[in-house]
Amino acid sequence: MITGSREITTAKLIAEGALKIGDGYRAKNSELTADGLPFARAGNINNGFQFSIADRLPHHYTNIILDKISLPGDIVFTSKGTVGRFGFVTEKTEKFIYSPQLCFWRSLKHEEVLPRFVYYWMHGQEFFGQVEGLKGQTDMADYVNLADQRRMTITLPPLPEQKAIAIVLSSLDDKIDLLHRQNQTLEAMAATLFRQWFVEEAQEDWVEYSVSDFAGHIKNNVIPANFKNELFHHYSLPAFDDGKWPTIELGSAILSNKYQVVSHSTQIVH
């Protein structure tokens, strides 16, 4: 524990006016439309917010359910069914309405409870240890109710340490996000090249062949049990996973029939 840290319950932080923990609006199907504010469910929270296919509620709901609408700094937590997805609402996040599948933790005193720190704390063992002890309390799907979240324990370092932790972890998140976007760019480039080489060019001088025109599927059956004292190079899936080299075993130890591997073979692992 960092020097100067204090363990405090969320109930006390709520009583002090430093924290709000809320859940979502129970919308009727008749209220949902194609336009308006996204009505965010658990499926819309996965490595960020995905609202492209979300249901929506009319904009005038902003005047009706103020405490169920996202604000920058909110930490979003999926508390029903798929428990344990998170999102962090920034200034760039499209404003949305919380559904009952979601809870939000909202710092009301940033000088005491830094939102980014709470977001990373909720990814840690102290939070998840409490979640694991709560979500299986019913015979229904996993669920962490609002009352339980409002009496959890959180370890809060002094504000400078909260800021330092948040800066370091945010930097790592930014690097991870950059790598994801680079991978998406490379995948898009690979798809474009494949389309150009194997689809568009195929309309010109390409000739279509079958795999059997170039390779044969060899299935020479071997029964190791018939050669109990003979050593075999056994190339099993566990051997492939453990270094990609065959193990050397007596025929008596290999209980099922095998295929013989011949020279210049290519193995396809399912």
Torsion of CA 225, 226, 230, 231, to 10 degrees: -40
Give residue limits of the domains in the chain: 6-173, 213-259
Query: What pLDDT does residue 70 have?
Result: 95
The region of weakest confidence among 105-114, 169-178, 203-212 is 203-212
Q: DSSP label at 41? A: -
CA angle 29, 67, 123 (to 5 degrees): 95
Q: DSSP label at 199? A: I
CATH number of 6-173: 3.90.220.20
Q: Which tokens go with 147?
A: 């009352």
Q: Locate the DSSP E strands across the chain.
A: 6-9, 19-23, 37-40, 56-57, 75-78, 86-88, 97-98, 102-107, 153-156, 221-222, 231-234, 247-250, 258-259
Backbone angles phi, psi at 143, to 5 degrees: -160, 130
Of 158 and 1, more confident: 158
Query: What pLDDT does residue 157 have?
Result: 95
Distance (Å, rounded) from C-alpha 33 to C-alpha 57? 6
Query: What pLDDT does residue 57 have?
Result: 93
Residue 105's nearest CA partner among 92, 96, 116, 95 is: 116
- pTM, full prediction: 0.66
